[in-house]
Amino acid sequence: MRTALTIAGSDSCGGAGIQADMKTMTMNGVFAMSAITALTAQNTTGVTGIMEVTPEFLAMQLDAVFADIRPDAVKTGMVSSDKLIKTIAAKLREYKAENIVVDPVMVATSGAKLIADEAVETLKAELLLIATVVTPNIPEAEILADMKITSQDDMVKAAQIIGEKYSCAVLCKGGHSLSDANDLLWNSGSKKWFNGKRIDNPNTHGTGCTLSSAIASNLAKGFTLEKSVERAKDYISGALAAMLDLGKGSGPMNHAFALSGEFAKEAE
């Protein structure tokens, strides 16, 4: 059994964050573990409260995981605090973690900024430099590359800037009215487009978390980065196409769309 660790915040409604990551990892065939950076009170309509853990307690969680069940891959999600980012980077370096997928959660789909400028700079200086691959959406790629992105050529340029500056692979995610769900993987000077069919489903809560966790899961199982991205996109397409409709806002996907068997049966 391969293992994967998610370092992110908890989503009380289960559609994003730690909950989405662990569902995704389980459905992608790896044993999921977690280190929680914050508790949130949120649902499909928004976030009403956030309670961060201390850097000391986050470090304890990471020590506990690595000391007992070493993860074959690590995914990081939303971390809004400068000190927490430094703690994560220090521990991943200490344990020489491999297959690190950084989802640089800085800008919401709505365009709202999610972390402070200081934390953005720390994310760049600490986490990106140890990442195997970073998975920014268009607004996040604009921040990391310090340029405006309005075309596919711009996506290529931005990915190259980020990849060369931080010595990591970059999956620049389309969407946001650009590139129709086509994602660009830039890796050591080579580029590959992953064309996606835009699925007409308004319930997209947690798509970024899910994609990065699926990539980490496949890296943990020994797939190449290119194949891991391909498999992750297929998984998220299936989860969206299942057309789950829960909640009053932008609802979650059906992470368990492919689940079948004795324990999935409903009462007759």
Residue 235, φ and ψ in degrees, nearest 5: -65, -45
Q: Indicate which residues carry an active-site annotation.
A: 173, 204, 206-209
pLDDT digits (tens, 9 = 90+) for 84-123: 999 999 999 999 999 999 999 887 655 566 787 888 999 9
Q: 4-20 pLDDT, tens per residue?
A: 999 999 999 999 999 99
Q: Which of 23, 24, 54 is nearest to 36 (CA)?
A: 54
pTM of the model: 0.94
**Is residue 210 within 8 Å of 17, Cβ to Cβ?**
no
Strand partners, 31: 3
